[in-house]
Structure 1
Amino acid sequence: MATLMEDDVFRAFTTYAAIVIVKMVLMGPLTAYYRITRGSFANLEDVARKSADEQKKLLRTHPDVERVRRCHLNDLENIVPFLGIALLYTLTGPDLSCALLHFRVFAGSRIFHTISYVGALPQPCRGLSYLTGATVTLSMAYRVLSTVLVL
């Protein structure tokens, strides 16, 4: 592991992987914040100390909570594949500047995606940020496949 951390591209990968993972992990507390502030809970045990009438009011969905949840799901659908492809991409020996461009654009696109999703910014903000991240992942996948594909 020590020799891997001496490789600049691998260090860049670990840096940006950590950034997008932390961003994704923070979506859990953000969901909890929205649940508490909007009074919208999913499970009976979350409101067990409340009266029956209050439980009926609190066991419901709220558009803001669902928006954050969908954003979190979108992160899972995009960040997890990025991590796998980016690791394989790192192993193909790309130039540091090219790797940094891929990693930075992906991380930036996911952060902007969250801002545009949770903040309900008008389209095409969210769509473009999603497409940008997906294009980066596909670009790295192309590099991996073109490097190792044996026909």
Structure 2
Amino acid sequence: MAQLADSEVFRAFATYAVIVLVKMMAMSLVTAYYRLTRKVFINPEDAAAHSKGGDPKKYIRTDQDVERVRRCHLNDIENLIPFLGVGLLYALSNPELSAALLHFRIFTASRLLHTVAYLTPLPQPSRALTFVAGYLVTLSMAFFTMRSLLYL
């Protein structure tokens, strides 16, 4: 563990991993905000708690804005899990610090910009480009990790 803590690449990975994880966690709060402000719930007990004596069934529905936030959050989950796994293995494969920082920074920026593009919403292809950038970074790290393993 001490070797990992001394590794600049691992510390960089950990820093950017925490940034994107906190951003993903924030999406839960954004979803809750949208649900509460629009009185849109999926569970009967939540609808009943917020119906103030009215018919709770009218609050069990979908809303376009709530669904947009949920899809953005799901997209984060789909992309962060591979980044965390591949990024950890990449960080452990002893890459050059400058290359590792480039990978981690591009991925982090792409996810932050993806959220802005998704929630604003910005016209396409802005969201698609930010998604592809992050996806390609993860593939690049996977490639370099596999290459380093094959040349041990």
> Fold match, TM over 0.5?
yes
Show the counterpart of 1:108. 109
Q: Per-residue deviation at 1:149?
A: 3.2
Show the counterpart of 1:74. 75
- Alignment-mate amino acid for residue 36 of structure 2: I
Look up the SS of the partner of 1:66 in the other structure.
Answer: helix
For residues 31-55 of structure 1, what are the alpha-carbon distances to aligned partners after superposition, in whole Å with 9 as ceiling and x for unaligned?
A: 0000011111111010224367531
Q: Which runs of 5 or more structure 1 residues have no equivalent in the other structure? A: none
Show the counterpart of 2:126. 125
Contact 2:47 2:57 in 1 (8 A): no
TM-score, length basis structure 1: 0.95
Show the counterpart of 1:30. 30
RMSD over aligned CA atoms reads 1.4
Q: Per-residue deviation at 1:56?
A: 2.5
Q: Per-residue deviation at 1:91?
A: 1.1
After TM superposition, the structure 1 stretch with the greater mean CA deviation from structure 2, 50-59 or 27-36, is 50-59
Show the counterpart of 1:60. 61
Show the counterpart of 2:40. 40
Q: Which runs of 4+ in 1 moved over 2 A?
A: 49-54
For residues 118-146 of structure 1, what are the alpha-carbon distances to aligned partners after superposition, in whole Å with 9 as ceiling and x for unaligned?
A: 11110011000000000000000000111
Distance (Å, rounded) in 2 between the aligned partners of 1:51 and 1:100 = 51
- Alignment-mate amino acid for residue 112 of structure 1: L
1:51/1:19 CA distance change after superposition, 3 Å:
closer
Distance (Å, rounded) in 2 between the aligned partners of 1:66 and 1:83 = 25
Q: Which runs of 5 or more structure 2 residues have no equivalent in the other structure? A: none
Look up the SS of the partner of 1:26 in the other structure.
Answer: helix
Show the counterpart of 2:138. 137
- Alignment-mate amino acid for residue 91 of structure 1: L
Distance (Å, rounded) in 1 between the aligned partners of 2:150 and 2:74 = 31
1:85 equivalenced with 2:86 (yes/no): yes
Show the counterpart of 1:3. 3
- Alignment-mate amino acid for residue 43 of structure 1: N
